[in-house]
Amino acid sequence: MAVTTMAKAINAGLRKALENDPKVLLMGEDIGKLGGVFRVTDGLQKDFGEARVIDSPLAESGIVGTAVGLAMRGFRPVVEIQFDGFVFPAFDQIVTQVAKHNARSAGRTPMPITIRIPYGGGIGAVEHHSESPEAYFAHTAGLRVISPSNPADAFAMVQQAIACDDPVVFFEPKRRYWDKADVDESLDLATAPSPFRARVVRPGTSVTVVCYGPMVRTCLEAASAAAAEGIELEVVDLRSMSPLDVDTVAASVRRTGRLVVVHEAPVFLGVGAELAARITETCFYSLEAPVLRVGGYHTPYPPARLEEDYLPDLDRVLDAVDRSLAF
């Protein structure tokens, strides 16, 4: 067990995957000699060579298209999209080829591709560097969409994504890259929790707060603040947006009677909208208040100097909790 950052935990997970399976390849812009803009792939090209850690041209569609061909030849490509806002040149490849080829070939040609995308705001970046496009991909059948919230999950989940025979979009919360926590690098993945299941990260009895990725730390901080006033929030880390683990959330809501969903992406037609609908259908007679959502506004992501006004924070989470309890 060692204390490390999320960025280094993902690096360690990629290293394990490269060591354990010669069919695993990494591709992306500046991931080799530079080690990626966030240094997540630092040192991997030096240790595994240019044939397995590949510096690609500046062409996202070409990167993912090449991964499709490699997957068809039995490889497990892991591609890095440098920033969230740059994934859209590859959007056609992802939703048209990656997501559908397994079904189109009646299961004869699986697409074990992992698409790593640093996402979300909070680092003061310029336009196209702070977006949360996860709902686009969660809406597309055939893709699995997950996001870790801490270094230990990041280490395990990136390896589980690579081992998955389905394509996985792996969203990395970039403002949590430097968060530190214990990571057990001897972890046996066979005994690790599924990356496609949610997890209760703080038990409580007053209100269920569901979140994922960068918002988990914010919601845990909100839970600590609420506890000082005698309000016990149950915080659920969703971890997977597709598939959506409604059962774990529903079990929590049946205990608390209330639900607040929190994410950085705009509330309008976001993951929280689907979860609110599913919980209302499933837990209607257990709910003491309407399901509330906290998220970004339905506007283009603002300039860096305004992003703290855009992103959900502790006060906005607690305001929603108060509104739920007052209903």
Mean pLDDT (whole number) for 148-163: 98
**24 contact partners, CB below 8 Å, separation of at least 6:** 17, 18, 52, 75, 76, 77, 78, 162
**Which pair of tokens denotes residue 6?**
């999320």
The secondary structure of 64-126, three-state, reads: HHHHHHHHHCCCEEEEECCCHHHCHHHHHHHHHHHCCHHHHCCCCCCCCCEEEEEECCCCCCC
* Structure confidence at residue 312 (pLDDT): 97
End-to-end CA distance of the chain: 45
| 263-274: average pLDDT | 97
At position 34, the amino acid (one-letter code) is: L
For residue 1, the tally of other CB atoms under 10 A from its CB is 10
DSSP state of 188: -
Cα–Cα dist 148/176, whole Å:
10
What is the band of 164 on the pLDDT scale with cuts at 50, 70, 90? very high
Do the Cβ atoms of 158 and 10 come closer than 8 Å?
Answer: yes
Taking CA atoms, 177 is separated from 149, 155, 216, 231, 286, in Å, by 10, 12, 14, 30, 38
- pLDDT score, position 17: 98
Tell me the average pLDDT across 79-99.
Answer: 96
Q: What is the pLDDT of residue 143?
A: 98
- The predicted pLDDT at position 1 comes to 79
For the record, the structure tokens of 133 come out as: 């496009």
Structure tokens at 171: 């969203």
| H/E run at residue 276 | helix 271-282
Average pLDDT over the chain, rounded to an integer: 96
Phi, psi of 183 (to 5 degrees): -130, 125
Report CA-CA distances (Å) from 105 to 93, 98, 109, 144, 237.
16, 12, 6, 18, 34
* β-strands 180-183, 2-5 pairing: antiparallel
168-185: average pLDDT: 96
Q: What are phi and psi of 148, to 5 degrees?
A: -80, 160
Give percent of the chain above pLDDT 90: 96
Strands 240-242 and 144-146: antiparallel
Taking the model in full, what pTM does it have?
0.97
- Tokens 């590949």 sit at which residue? 54
- CA–CA gap between residue 211 and residue 250 (Å, rounded): 14
Please enumerate in sequence order all residues whose Cβ is within 8 A of that of 254, keeping only pairs 6 or more positions apart, or say none: 283, 286
Catalytic residue positions?
A: 129
Confidence of residue 204 (pLDDT cuts 50, 70, 90): very high
121-155 per-position pLDDT tens digit: 999 998 899 999 999 999 999 999 999 999 999 99
Q: Please name the residues in contact with 28: beta carbons below 8 A apart, sequence gap of 6 or more.
A: 36, 41, 54, 55, 56, 63, 79, 80, 81, 82, 116
